[in-house]
Amino acid sequence: MRRILRKIRRRFAKPTPPPPPPPFRHEYKRTWEALAETEDTAKMAVSGYLDEGMYRSHGLKTKGLLEDTVGLKADDEILEIGAGVGRVGAVLAPVCKRWVGADVSSRMVEHMRRRLAAFPNVEAVEISGHDLAPIPDASLDLVYCTVVFMHLEEWERYRYVREAFRVLRPGGRLLVDNVNALDDAGWAFFEHLLSFPPESRPPFVSKTSTPQELVNYLTRAGFEAIGQRGFELFIVVHGVKP
């Protein structure tokens, strides 16, 4: 009897609906809003750790990279694309005229505002994930985007380079980076992510670049004096708006 009842229940039970598919890679806002529900989940999503000492240390490392490549000036007005919770802004705000952190997630923007509230020269701006529409033309001296291109499709990478050209003043500088697919450490990174089955690959999974790709974006957007350098497993490319 019990066996018969189980068969009946299975035969007429309401089928369980399949789980909703994960968001597509281009749904940047939906993806990062979900990942940034709390400050801790936001920090884990952008860096993989919570330790504030490490946050400051890595922020200082990025500051040093900017100093060594595009330079930092006391009167600079600076924009970070994909600023997350303001890791780099915390070390740049004290040494520049104005620092603007732009992020696709409204939750990230709120975390950033709260964490950097002590700095009167900081602004946090929500963007669409495809452009820098809230930023006026020719209003900035330096734009940088670090550890972000890995989460973007190639079209958005180039869109942000073009948008950086728009919002920079003549003589303004741009710096972008991504994991270098032509470097041995970068290729090991690529092969590690190859282990994800295609059907379970998360929409924010990291993708690599080649130096030629990033140089091509800056060249076609109109930048000049384009340079590049390796930085750990990353390729860093920078240029100047004529």
Separation of alpha carbons 118 and 6, rounded Å? 64
Q: What pLDDT is recorded for position 22?
A: 52
Q: What tens digit of pLDDT does each residue of 168-182 get?
A: 999 999 999 999 999
- Mean pLDDT throughout 65-70? 98
Query: Does residue 80 surpass a pLDDT of 60?
Result: yes
For every residue of 21-62, which 3-state class applies, written as one string? CCCCCCCHHHHHHHHCCCHHHHHHHHHCCCCHHHHHHHHHHH
Q: Are 153 and 209 in contact (CB under 8 A)?
A: no
What angle do the packed helices 106-115 and 28-35 form, to 10 degrees? 50
Model confidence at 90, pLDDT cuts 50, 70, 90, reads: very high
Query: Does residue 12 surpass a pLDDT of 70?
Result: no
pTM: 0.89
Q: What pLDDT is recorded for position 7?
A: 41
Query: Does residue 15 surpass a pLDDT of 80?
Result: no
pLDDT, averaged across the chain: 91
Q: Which residue ranges form the domains of the chain, and what is each CATH number?
A: 1-10+24-241 (3.40.50.150)
Q: What tens digit of pLDDT does each residue of 205-225 get?
A: 899 999 999 999 999 999 999
